[in-house]
């Protein structure tokens, strides 16, 4: 079931690559799956394009180094 959710979020990002909530949700799913580095990479990718985005900045802060 989680694999399906992951594929759906990834499809969403292909269609709407600037959709903040999809990045946040996919990152949260990656953390739940134990893929903290993947979650961080996703959020950093979005943050590079949208450095003013506070929710993504906060999510990155919560993930830590």
pTM > 0.75: yes
Alpha-carbon distances, residue 51 vs 2, 8, 27, 58 (angstroms): 29, 25, 17, 11
Residue 60 per-residue DSSP state? H
Distance of alpha carbon 7 from the chain centroid: 13
Domain assignments of the chain as residue spans, ordered by start: 2-63
- The 10s digit of each residue's pLDDT in 38-61 is 999 999 999 999 999 999 999 999
pLDDT tens for each residue of 12-40: 889 999 999 999 999 999 999 999 999 99
């Amino acid at each position: 079931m989680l694999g399906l959710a992951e594929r759906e979020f990834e499809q969403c990002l292909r269609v709407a690559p600037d959709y903040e909530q999809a990045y946040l949700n996919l990152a949260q799913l990656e953390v739940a799956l134990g893929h903290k580095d993947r979650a961080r990479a996703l959020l950093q990718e979005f943050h590079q394009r949208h450095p003013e985005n506070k929710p993504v900045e906060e999510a990155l802060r919560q993930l830590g180094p």
